Every structure is written in C-alpha cells, then in structure tokens.
Amino acid sequence: MRLAVILIIVAVFFKIFLLEAFQIPTTSMENTLLAGDFIIVNKIAYKISTPTKIPFTNIKIPHFTLLETWEPEINELVVFNYPEMFLQDPTITTNQFIKRIVAGPGDTLQFINKKIFVNNEELTLPPTIKYSSKIIRRRGIVEDNIFPKGSKWNRDNYGPIIIPKKGDTIAVNSRNLQRVKQIIVMDYGERVLREEGTVITLNAKPILEYVIQNDNYFVIGDNLDVSMDSRYIGFVTKEMIIGKALFIYWSMDDKKTASGPLGFLSGIRTRRIFQGVE
C-alpha cells in the first residue's frame, strides 16, 4: 500500500513538473510525426512553472513561472497551448498543438516559393519535411485567412515579417489595428482590446502604443501544405509553450487495425516506438 502511494506521488510529480504525454492527432507534422504517434514532452526544457490545470483534470488554475531554464531554438519541436478563444473549428477538441520553430524573437521571416528564409538566409529543414502539392501559389495570390489580417500574402509566398520580441514597442492606431490586434491579444492573454470610434483602448485605457510582454516565435507544421501554423494562427509566445518534444513512446495506425480481440496488434508501428524526434 505504501509503495502504491509513493508511486502515485512520483507519477503526479512527473506529470506536473517534468514530463507530459501528447498524442499526434492529425497529419500536419508528417513525415516527422504521424497521426497516432504518442510522444513524451520535456516540460522543463524552457522553464519550470506551476501547473495550468489540476492534475488529471481539465480544471484551469492560476499559474506562474518559477524559473527560466533555456531558450527555444530554431528547428526544435514544441508543444504549446493555443488560446481557446481563437479556436474557430468545432471539430478541434484540444487547444494543445505541436509545431516546429523556424524563427525567433527579432528575426525577419519570409516564404519564397515554399522555401523559408530567416534574416535573408534560407533555413535548412529536416529531410522529413513534406510537401503535399507541387503547385506554388505565386506572390499576389491572396489567402484571406492568412495572418496578419489584410497582409495579402499566401502560404507559399509569405512575408517578410518581423517576429516580435519582449520589450518591443509597436504603434497602435486605426490604420494598423487589424494587423496588430491578434499580436497584442495573444501576448496579453485576454480579449481586452477595443476600438471605440477613433479611440483604441486596452483594459479600458486609451493607448497609442503597446510594449510586447513576451518573446514570440514563428512555427510551422512539417507537412507544409496542409498545416494550420503561424501563417494562419499567428505567433506563439513563450508563455504559451509547454515544452520540447523528446521521443515517441507508442505509435498506432488505426487504419491497419484488424478485426478480432488482438486485431490492434497489426496497427502497432513497432519501428517508431522509442524513436527520438527532431
């Protein structure tokens, strides 16, 4: 009995502070991660913080960072919480996502014919990056749902855009409000930005500028042509990042599961189990 209690305490401690399990729900990270992969996430890779939810429940609680550890780096795979207030698709059942960091605070990012350039240098991506379509949307073809609103870019020819860093001051006015609104709300963590005639208020106080509170990152899905990533959802703040992906601890292909009580065995991807991710 005492051993069982100790094991439970250890398991809760690991879940709260050290490690988190995460299931890959879609094909947006192929071929690096496949739908049905289950991964372990290192929660102290970038910071040590108190839990955001009561363990083993979805009940949210106030949280704060205890200690900053390391900074996220380019090409690292991170799991992050995306604010539920921005989730528009009713089929999405979670607000936790995994993507690859391709640009950090202060960087200038641009997509040119599907290739990614950071600070005017082409970014070297892993060989597992996937392109589902050979068609390139040329510059001038506009996707209405591209971030930021009104940018007149598309997923293949995007930017240039500067990634905000902590301490940056951005102007806020009626002319640029649509472009900076999501940046401010994501950074601030609440929908507290209002436009009242020609006056823009934050927390009911008029503002002409805003100081960025968090470092921001630009993330992509490795299946570049089908991923809802920063090109659509905007920047990911450091506060939103849960941790860094470590390895696959289980992998199951539901499409290959056979009938019968042991049919699930045929769907196990044994070669992927305990495979590191990068």
Average pLDDT, the chain: 86
Backbone angles phi, psi at 219, to 5 degrees: -120, 150
Q: Which pLDDT value is given to residue 7?
A: 46
133-173: per-residue pLDDT in tens? 999 999 999 998 899 988 999 999 999 999 999 999 999 99
Give strand pairing partners of 193.
Answer: 202
pLDDT band at 88 (very low <50, low <70, confident <90, very high): low
Q: Which pLDDT value is given to residue 167?
A: 96
**Do 183 and 250 belong to one domain?**
no
Q: Which pLDDT value is given to residue 190?
A: 73
**Do 194 and 238 belong to one domain?**
no
With a cut of 90, say whether residue 186 has pLDDT above it: no
| 145 vs 17, residue with greater confidence | 145
**Do 26 and 81 belong to one domain?**
yes
* Mean pLDDT (whole number) for 89-112: 86
With a cut of 60, say whether residue 92 has pLDDT above it: no
CATH of the domain at 257: 2.10.109.10
CA distance 147 to 7: 46
Q: Which pLDDT value is given to residue 150?
A: 87
Q: Which pLDDT value is given to residue 6?
A: 57
140 found inside a domain = no
Number of domains in the chain: 2
Contact 48, 66 (CB under 8 A): yes
Give strand pairing partners of 19.
Answer: 42
Q: Which pLDDT value is given to residue 143?
A: 94
Structural domain that includes position 97:
2-102+216-272
| 271 vs 203, residue with greater confidence | 271
With a cut of 90, say whether residue 110 has pLDDT above it: yes
Reading the block at residue 28, the tokens are: 């947006």
Q: Could you tell me the end-to-end alpha-carbon distance of the chain, in angstroms, rounded to an integer?
A: 40
**Do 41 and 92 belong to one domain?**
yes
Number of helical H runs and strand E runs in the chain: 3, 18
* Mean pLDDT (whole number) for 240-247: 94
- Tell which phi-psi region holds residue 224, choosing left (phi > 0), alpha (psi between -120 and 50) or beta: alpha
**Do 195 and 238 belong to one domain?**
no
203-235: per-residue pLDDT in tens? 888 999 999 999 999 999 999 999 999 999 999
pLDDT band at 278 (very low <50, low <70, confident <90, very high): confident
Give the pTM: 0.89
Spell out the residues 6+ positions from residue 137 whose beta carbon is closer than 8 angstroms to its own. 143, 154, 155, 156, 157
| 139 vs 3, residue with greater confidence | 139
**Do 52 and 175 belong to one domain?**
no
9 found inside a domain = yes
**Do 61 and 43 belong to one domain?**
yes
143 found inside a domain = no
- Please report, as a single letter, which amino acid is at residue 53: K
| 60 vs 245, residue with greater confidence | 245
